[in-house]
Structure 1
Amino acid sequence: SLQTFAAGFIGRPLLSTRSKDLKAYLNANGLSWVEDESNAESCYKRNFIRHKLLPIADSEFANATENCAKTAENTADSLRLLNILAGFEKNHLPLAQIKAIPPDLQATYFYHWLSAKNLPVMDKKTIKQVLADFLTARADKNPYFSNQFYQLYRWQEAIYWIENFETIDEKCEFIWNTAEDFIFPNNCGRLSYKGDACQLRVKFQQRKSQKLKTHQHKFHKTIKQLLQEQQIPPWQRVNTPYIYAQNELVSLGFAWSHQQKFSNNIQLNFNFSD
């Protein structure tokens, strides 16, 4: 079994192998192993089931443990298939997709989309409130929800699930030697440079009233205008780098600059998955 976990994966290749089969193989090949002492403690629910309930079931019903394991495996496969068919593996859920579900099942639908992310899901009352806020807010509003595990944004008629990230201090300033990639302090993105190496300054100051001239336009535009025109989502906006050559704002990492070399050479990649 290979499952996503945070930014990586958890591999459990022997999960489907029965304990007695595994021990038989180890003994037959003279291999030793380390037993987790907590496996014998029945105060944990999984151990209570294993040591107390399953032996009773096996004594009453033939192959009860094996049948339970097969049922659990089949159920997990069915749930994974349903998640794929419903599009739950994606990190965004179109509002139209929710509205197509009968109203009394919308909260359940939303719950399963969240639970497919393998993170703790909020309680039913909170789910209903969040869903109501996201479905009924005016078109010019962008509802937002966050907890200790993730954030939810409503943007362009969909709900987006984004892992929590640290806010970069706007007072911080970074010197970027473009011979190497610049990794964001919160690991949400990176900047690359294709031309001759130089030194640039990078800030994350969120001055949306500041102006920048691009090579596509004759006049300067505010950062807010550019972000809106290019439909940059809110979780990227708060992580947009302001890049300076000496004291002049020359780029936001996107292909926006009145200087051709910066427009062509600077590349911005975010680590947010869709």
Structure 2
Amino acid sequence: KDQIDVEVAAIHIDHGLQQESPAWSRHCSDYCRQLDIPLETVSLSLQSVSGESLEAQAREARYATIQQLMQPGEILLTAHHRDDQAETLLLNLMRGSGVKGLAAMPPLRHFAEGWLARPLLEISRSEIEAYATEHKLKWIDDPSNALTDFNRNYLRHEILPGLTQRWPAAAASIADSASHLAEAAQLLDQESYKLLTGMIAAPGRLQLEPLLQQPRAWQKLLLRHWLQQLGLPPPPRKRLAGFVQQLTADSQRIPQINWSGVELRRYNNQLYAGRRPPQHDATTEIEWRTEQPLKLPSQLGELQMLEGRHQRLMVRFRREGDSMRWHSHQRSLKSIFRQLEIPPWQRSRIPLIVDNGAIIAIADLAYADETTLHLDWRRQS
């Protein structure tokens, strides 16, 4: 830290999975005190999650904790090395990953409001151990790293040694392949970004026609990139492939897939993606004194009067047979929603403003004839 004139701090995460973990925390504390490096120690209490390995839970909890501790612009440095990179590629290969997964770990990526860097990614484990021994550095080996019950440890102790015996540069060659795949993934990312720019209709909406002009493989890739841009997890590969096949089906149908709390659907030649909304009681009625904004239930956002006479109104949601006088005709809400191109699954969650039993506004989307209100519906993102 003296040579490069930067502030350095350390983070130690105690997962609470080993009896020796208090001693490990003391080791980190003593070491950082000797080097005059501030240390943040956090103890975790992991809960068993069905269908998820303890190894994956610990990793997710560790990174989530570090993410909360990092300040904007800070850089997290991890000690992942070339052998780790080879293991990661092999693990992802066993999972059937695509180009991005087989690119393994990037040397630098955005993380929290800063960066995550892996400066040792091109250095082997043996080189690091030799350096530590030569400079008499003290370290602790986690005994769980010897357990071959964990997939990564199985690769490390059972598979890679055999590969290295046959091909001495196996780990380096595998890591090189990851680097080549990372370059290919970057090119695909750049091209996907260009193509998506002309397809996005609105936040969470994608135009279908230009997507269908692309080859099937590009369709799946573009959908994955679009979902990633929205901050949504990727769908299972087979489900996405099945959904893409349905996109050329009868336009009256509304194909959809659901996964991990996310919904992806087609409607009116557009795709809609977003997190599944919470359950909503459509029978709810709320009195609204319009001089104050109205907070809506079920994460539906807030209504505010921008123009109009302050009064006492009712806010409710769609019912069978609802209608409103709109464009000089009494029209059913169903026909108005169709003209506004509002997808069917969203209609029951749109607040209706009622005065003396008559619907005078559909949120801020449509107003009854002769209504002087002007509203703002701030949807909750």
Is residue 13 from structure 1 mapped to residue 119 from structure 2 by the alignment?
A: no
Larger radius of gyration: 2
Q: Tell me if structure 1 keeps the 8 A contact 2:360–2:371.
A: no
Residues 65 and 148 of structure 1: CA distance in aligned 2, closer, same or farther (over 3 Å): closer
The correspondence of residues 1-274 of structure 1 with structure 2, limited to 5 A, is: 11=112, 13-18=114-119, 60=169, 74-87=183-196, 90=200, 91-102=204-215, 106=216, 108-116=217-225, 117-118=227-228, 119-124=233-238, 126-137=239-250, 139-195=251-307, 197-204=310-317, 206-207=318-319, 209-214=321-326, 217-253=327-363, 254-262=365-373, 264=374, 266-270=375-379
Instruction: Decide whether the 8 Å contact of 1:174 with 1:202 is kept in 2.
Output: yes
Q: Shift of the alpha carbon at 1:235? A: 4.3
Flag structure 2 segments of 5+ consecutive residues without an equivalent.
1-109, 122-139
- SS state of the match for residue 87, structure 1? helix
Q: Take 1:152 and 1:96, find their aligned partners in 2: how far apart are those partners?
A: 16
Report percent identity of matched pairs.
18
Structure 2 distance, partners of 1:113, 1:98, is 8
Structure 1 pair 250–68 and aligned structure 2 pair: CA distance change class (3 A):
same
Aligned amino acid, residue 160 of structure 1: Y
Distance 1:232 1:141, change over 3 A: same
Shift of 1:248: 3.0
Secondary structure of the residue aligned to 2:248 is helix
Change (3 A) 1:182 1:40: farther
Select the structure with the greater relative contact order (CA < 8 A; seq sep ≥ 6): 1
Contact 2:268–2:341 (CA under 8 A) maintained in structure 1: no
What is the distance in 2 between the residues matched to 1:39 and 1:174?
57
Structure 1 residue 260: deviation in Å? 2.8
Count matched residues. Answer: 240
Q: Is the 8 A contact 1:177 1:199 kept in 2?
A: yes
What CA RMSD, in Å, does the superposition of the two structures yield over aligned residues? 4.1
DSSP 3-state at the match of 1:166 = coil
TM-score by length of 1: 0.66
Deviation at 1:251, TM superposition (A): 1.3
1:3 is matched with which residue?
Answer: none
Deviations 1:166-193 (A, max 9, x none): 2411122223343443344232443221
Take 2:112 and 2:151, find their aligned partners in 1: how far apart are those partners? 22
User: Which residue identity does 1:113 align to in structure 2?
Assistant: L
Matching residue's letter, 1:234 = P
C-alpha distance in structure 1 between counterparts of 2:358 and 2:311, whole Å: 15
Cα distance change of structure 1 residues 238 and 113 upon mapping to structure 2, 3 Å threshold? farther
Cα distance between partner residues in 2 of 1:250 and 1:39:
66
Q: Residues 174 and 131 (structure 1 numbering): CA distance in 2 closer, same or farther, change over 3 Å?
A: same
Deviation, structure 1 residue 62: 10
3-state SS of paired residue (1:220): strand
Aligned-residue offset at 1:223: 0.7
Give a deviation string over 1:27-48, Cα, whole Å, max 9, x none: xxxxxxxx9x899687665677
CA offset at residue 211 of structure 1? 1.4
